[in-house]
Amino acid sequence: MAESASRVMIATRRKDLKETVVLRDELPPLVPDEIRLRVDKVGLSANNLFYAQMGEAPFLKFFSVYPLAEEHEAFANVPAWGVATIIESANPEFQIGQKFRGFLHMTNVVQMKARRMPEGFVAFGGARDKINQAYNGFLTVDSQGTSPIQGAGVKSDLAMAAAPGASSGFALYQQLKMHDFYGGNCVVLTSASSKLSLATAQLLQTERGRGRLQRVIGYTANANAQFVADTDLFDDVIGYTEHLPQGGDLQHVLIDVAGDAAIYKRGKAQYVKAFAVGGTHSDAESSVFTAFGPSGFLKMFIDMLAPQLVKSWASRWLTPRLEMFFAPAVINVLLAQWGREELERKSNQALTGFVDAAIGQGWIEVLRSESPESAQAAYRRIVEGEVPPSEAIILSLVSECCALVGSARC
């Protein structure tokens, strides 16, 4: 018998991202092709801030992934990467108990129409059909697989919290290698204390050891400088008001996670290539996107919206000095080159390496938020930039699932 489900959500005010509200409602009974999943946990990080900042961008539409009812139009659900378990299914291709990871949000339960794929499933229907399809894919969490996300414990939690940044770092590293570092021999990472920058820098150590790169440089806030230096992943750690180290033969490639136009403009003449990756500096006077030239904007729209044939053309012929990095476009290229099994093996290996180093060397501690109130407080700290780089935050409202739904499946 089909049942409704009580849902609790942490929603964000669209015009003031720091403000959140706890919303409760009832999900309707499942219709054919739908599945209902308990949200076991999601990771909260600077990625969530980026999704909130770009929530209404026409080419991303992050706020459309999990839309709210009209009476809550002033608020929106901010997506978050996480793990969920099927607790009810009206789709014969799915069974109760199967686990998947993908784009979720700060809630206890979700439901969606799903189409089974070899690697997991694709969500479809409604507003989902109008967003970038990269955010509709969910991957199977195999208890016998190699992903460090599976299971429980601190390593699994850190893998979940770090996965968005580490996965982007892995894709960035592959992009740089595919293009021979764009002729550069020094990689500069802003927001060097972020998990994305740390994971990227860790992978770059291979090229540093081989001599392909002469230096890896990290820009960071003064308060985080010692943390970044203690990781031993950077040759130089500098503050945002400092200029790049001068070297007669250094050719710099910028990976801008901060998203601050001032950083790019100050060193523009020294960069042979620059990628806009994130927006951790939410208080920047102007976003790095304001520094894009016409070819940079054109390539951004092609990477996000165009067919693969057009993307391939743009990759070859559009070469702006500054462009947006869009990880799904790189993943599609790697899928074509390696196949899914090899891609998952290599990306899982990279994530495992980062998690092992972060825990083994004491870089990062995992903190859990397990109530709506603590989730609100954790999210606000992220928006206000108050989470130190030594912390990773996991949100789990499973207890709300049990209390509200009252099902043994929770």
Q: What pLDDT does 284 receive?
A: 67
2 pLDDT band, cuts 50/70/90, is low
Least Cα distance to 237 among 207, 197, 195 occurs for 197
Contact 288, 322 (CB under 8 A): yes
Q: What CA–CA distance (Å, rounded) separates 79 from 102?
A: 10
Average pLDDT for 138-151: 82
Q: What number is the average pLDDT over the span 263-270?
A: 87
Written as one letter, the residue type at 235 is D
pLDDT tens per residue, range 208-266: 999 999 999 999 999 999 999 999 999 999 999 888 887 778 999 999 998 888 888 88
In this structure, the number of other CB atoms found within 10 A of the CB of residue 30 comes to 20
Q: What is the pLDDT of residue 407?
A: 47
Number of Cα atoms under 13 Å in the Cβ half of residue 139: 20
Candidate from 123-132, 341-350, 352-361, 365-374 with smallest mean pLDDT:
123-132
Beta strand ranges found along 142-264 (DSSP E):
186-189, 215-219, 236-238, 252-256
pLDDT digits (tens, 9 = 90+) for 11-39: 999 999 999 999 999 999 999 999 999 99
| φ, ψ (nearest 5 deg) of residue 78 | -90, 125
Query: Residue type at 362?
Result: G
pLDDT in tens, 290-313: 778 888 778 877 887 778 788 888
pLDDT for position 347: 93
pLDDT in tens, 54-79: 888 877 789 989 999 999 999 999 99
For residue 391, the cross-strand partners are: 365
CA-based Rg of the chain, rounded to a whole angstrom? 21
CB burial readout 199-234, b (16+ within 10 A) else e: bbbbbbeebbeeeebbbbbbbbbeebbebbeebebb
Ordered by where they begin, the domains of the chain are: 5-141+365-405 (3.90.180.10), 165-340 (3.40.50.720)
- For residue 253, the tally of other CB atoms under 10 A from its CB is 21
Residue 155 scores a pLDDT above 50: yes
Predicted pLDDT at 159: 92
Residue 46 pLDDT exceeds 60: yes
* Average pLDDT of the chain to the nearest whole number: 89
320 against 275, higher pLDDT:
275
State the pTM of this model.
Answer: 0.84
**Residue bearing the bigger pLDDT, 359 or 267:** 359
Band (pLDDT 50/70/90 cuts) for residue 410 is low
Q: What is the mean pLDDT of residues 392-405?
A: 75
pLDDT at 401: 58
Bridging pattern class, strands 34-44 and 16-27: unpaired
Spatial separation of the C-alpha atoms in residues 260 and 269, rounded to whole Å: 16
Task: Please check the confidence at residue 104 and state whether its pLDDT lies above 90.
Answer: yes
For residue 402, pLDDT beyond 70: no
DSSP 243-285: PPPP-TT--EEEEESS-BHHHHHHHGGGEEEEEE-----TT-S
DSSP 71: G
Amino acid 205: pLDDT: 95
34 contact partners, CB below 8 Å, separation of at least 6: 89, 90, 91, 111, 112, 113, 114
SS3 9: strand
What's the rounded Cα separation, in Å, for the pair 146 and 162? 16
